[in-house]
Structure 1
Amino acid sequence: MKNDSTIYDVAREAGVSIATVSRVMNHPERVAPVTRSRILSVMTRLDFSPSSEAVARARIGLKRVGVVAPFAWSYSFVQRIRGLSSHLSPREYEITTYSVENRSQLDSVFAMLSAGERVDGVVVMALPVDKEALMLFRRRGMPLVSLETRIKYVCSILSDNQEGGRIAAEYLLGKGFRHPAFLGEGGHPDYVVDSARSRFQAFSERLGAEGIEIPEEHMCFHYTGADYARGAARKLISGKFLPDVVFAASDYEALILYRIARNAGLQVPGNLAILGYDNIEAAEFIGLSTVDQQLDESGRLAAEMIELAFRGSFGQIPEVIRLPVTLIERDTA
């Protein structure tokens, strides 16, 4: 493996012009994906690194941080962004949000941001970063932090969804509930972290250890969106047997269920108890019992890690930060 490889070596091995190699380093979004992938593979094989001058151009001090997230309108993501803002805004950084809805869009956003001309650093929420995208960020010296997804060699801030599911089950068992149901999003595309499934799996396994099985009709997974969540909630409370408690995979779904149950004449928690997940700000307003995964704190920590990278203090940035999940008991369960 060569340690003194030049841009000329990369161009020759990849069968492209020097200009095309330069474009991959400076404007990767302008290079066809197949060609870009081939050039990046050659760079790795030759152990080629751009000059310090090129890396410096990627860090031009825009005072702007990019946030890439699926469904960036969701309450949990908004609250994480609030945590980011609490640290970055006083330091005069702007936050630009990029909401992605499919794999192709995700790849395009990563290629665009890694060029280093729009943002100084990137926070990725609940999304994977493939090897090609990771290589692009590294070649440009672009700081990267991941929330909710473990990415090797990238500072990843995580909460344990399975532990959250177990905590929920143990709390409800302790309260004497024996006929639970689950409400959560399902059918996520492969590029999105499926937190709801992880929470459900641990929740149902813990209940199963006590001999309690969740009937199939009380496992309500729905597509992303408020209309689908409302449909699933109505189906849950209109079945032949009403569960005594519903564990919702997010506070947003729990709030939807709360309103629908109340409109149907059910008392919460008298006829139906509800436990949410996230501890968004609105949860406290209605007294929603929930599992707190420290959304604001995760965003604040991401901002802090990005700022350390801007300063070049890489030795102070851990590869993994794990935030505890805790149960918040209020009125609904």
Structure 2
Amino acid sequence: MPVTIYDVARKANVSIATVSRVLNNSSLVSAKTRERVMKAIEELNFSPNVIASALTKKSTKTLGIVVPDISNPFFAELTRGVEDACNDFGFNLIICNTDNSIDKEVTYIKLLKQKSIDGYIISTAYYNDEIVLKMIKSNVPMILLGRDIECEGCNFDAVVSDNEKGGYLATKHLIDLGHQKIACLLGPPRVKVNLEREKGYLKAIHEANLKIYPELVGYGDFKVDFGYKKALEILTGKIKPTAFFAANDLTAIGVIKAAKSLGLKVPQDISVVGYDNTMLAELVDPPLTTISQQMKKMGYLAAEMLIKRIKNERTAGEKVVFDVNLVIRKSTDYI
């Protein structure tokens, strides 16, 4: 049988209320009594029931983060920032990985609700995500991280980066190097991030008066395999690009792999720009030119904003957009 607060009270020869005061750091308990209770807790290896405590405190001091793919370095970095903030503010964190499945997103959000967590950090939201929209309209303490959503007239928090600017900077860099046929590989079209990055790509193309080739634009996921297969398809097609803008570093690595498999050299034959500036960007051969996002800072701020809302120190309705910048390495060159 698990040790209970009753066992601690009996061993310390105090009331249950006194044990509760010690657990809650109340100043109403003498130092001598506190020491006796703490000794009993240690000897019995007692662990307070967080959920039971939450019923009285109305707080579990726990946040839940829902991410689409924790193996993606971008989401790992976001989550690390969230965890750092939780540690600084005395909160716990439950991490849920959906594998880009809407059904798993629904399941995990329901599970987190059953755990009586205090707030939700959502990094899986689609453009018109019904369950997230329902949470927003129900005034559930939550914040969107890394992804935005369309909800006219809604009051919600979001921490994102300037994706349109990122798409523009990546494409303009390639245009400035003399490239005219630039392929663009994006993630799922139902994710607003991709629509914004594509918008930046198209803005740079239009601005340079270049022709748009629909055949050179592809949607898939944010994984190496998609970048590899789609790049192979494009590079062996009728319209041959001289450069690729990939919506994340993993996709860009897939492009480099595809180019090499066809006997093409990067950047001599094909230039490649990624997105995120994860640690992989420096490890790949050649080192990847990419758009840098402030992932840890984004995650930290999102958790801090949510915790302050939970503590009633702020109200919802703030959207923070982090700046992005181009990091030039050795995967791009003049045509």
The question of a shared fold, defined as TM-score above 0.5 by the shorter chain, is answered with yes
> Partners of 1:198 and 1:165 in 2: how far apart?
8
* Contact 1:187 1:223 (8 Å CA) reproduced: no
Q: How many positions carry a matched residue from both structures?
A: 268
Q: Displacement of 1:261 after TM fit?
A: 1.9
In the alignment, what sits opposite 2:157? 155
Contact 1:276 1:289 in 2 (8 A): yes
| 1:105-136 deviation line (CA, Å, top 9, x unaligned) | 43444344345x34222101141454532354
Report what 2:77 is aligned to.
79
Deviation at 1:284, TM superposition (A): 2.2
- Give the CA deviation at 1:80: 0.8
CA distance in 1, matches of 2:119, 2:173: 40
- Give distance in 1, aligned partners of 2:156 and 2:248: 27
Please report how far the alpha carbon of residue 242 of structure 1 lies from its aligned counterpart in structure 2 after TM superposition.
3.3
Find the aligned partners of 1:59 and 1:299 in 2 and give their Cα distance: 27
Q: Is the 8 A contact 1:158 1:323 kept in 2?
A: yes
Assess if the C-alpha contact under 8 Å between 1:110 and 1:133 holds in 2.
Answer: no
Q: Which residue of 2 aligns with 1:196?
A: 194
CA contact (8 A) 1:204 1:213 kept: no
Which structure's CA Rg is the greater one? 2
| 330 and 172 in structure 1: CA distance in 2 versus 1, 3 angstrom threshold | same
Structure 1, residues 272-305: CA drift from partner, whole Å, max 9, x if none? Answer: 1100111112112232111122222211111211
The Cα of 1:167 is off from its aligned counterpart by 1.8
Can you list the C-alpha shifts for 1:143-179, whole angstroms capped at 9, x where unaligned? 3111221563222112222222222222222222222
Question: Residue in 1 aligned with 2:275?
Answer: 277
* Inter-partner Cα distance in structure 1 for 2:171 and 2:311: 43
Identity %: 23
Q: Which residue of 2 aligns with 1:110?
A: 109
- Please give the residue correspondences for 1:208-247 in structure 2 after superposition, counting only pairs within 5 Å: 208-222=206-220, 225-247=223-245
Provide the C-alpha distance between the structure 2 equivalents of 1:158 and 1:90, rounded to a whole number of angstroms: 22
Which deviates further from its counterpart, 67-76 or 161-170?
67-76
Q: Which residue is equivalent to 2:183?
A: 181
Deviating more after overlay: 250-259 vs 154-163? 154-163
Indicate the residue corresponding to 1:302 in structure 2. Answer: 302
Question: How far 1:187 sits from its partner (Å)?
Answer: 5.0
1:212-268 C-alpha deviation (Å, 9 max, x unpaired)? 123233223335654333211221223345321100011110011112323433221
TM superposition shift of 1:57: 4.2
Classify 1:290/1:226 alpha carbon distance in 2 versus 1 (closer, same or farther; 3 Å): closer
Letter in 2 for 1:331: K
Tell me: CA distance 1:173–1:227, structure 2 relative to 1, closer, same or farther (3 Å). Answer: closer
* Pair 1:71–1:169, CA change in 2 (3 A): same
Secondary structure at 1:207's aligned position in 2?
Answer: helix
Q: Tell me which residue corresponds to 2:44.
A: none
Aligned ranges for residues 1-333 of structure 1 at < 5 Å?
57=55, 60-100=58-98, 101-114=100-113, 117-127=115-125, 128=129, 130-136=132-138, 138=139, 143-147=141-145, 148-150=147-149, 152-186=154-188, 188=190, 193-222=191-220, 225-286=223-284, 287-314=287-314, 319-333=318-332
The answer for unaligned runs of 5 or more in structure 2 is 1-53
List gaps (5 residues or longer) in structure 1: 1-55
Residues 292 and 326, structure 1, Cα contact 8 Å, conserved in 2 = yes
- Structure 1 residues 170 and 308 mapped into 2: Cα distance closer, same or farther (>3 Å)? same
TM value normalised by structure 1: 0.71
Aligned equivalents of 1:63 and 1:290: distance in 2? 37
Match of 2:27 in 1: none
What RMSD in Å do the two structures reach over aligned CA positions? 2.7
Looking at structure 2, the residues matched to 326 and 245 of structure 1 have their Cα atoms a distance apart, in angstroms, of 19
CA contact (8 A) 2:227 2:252 kept: no
Give the Å deviation of 1:77.
1.6
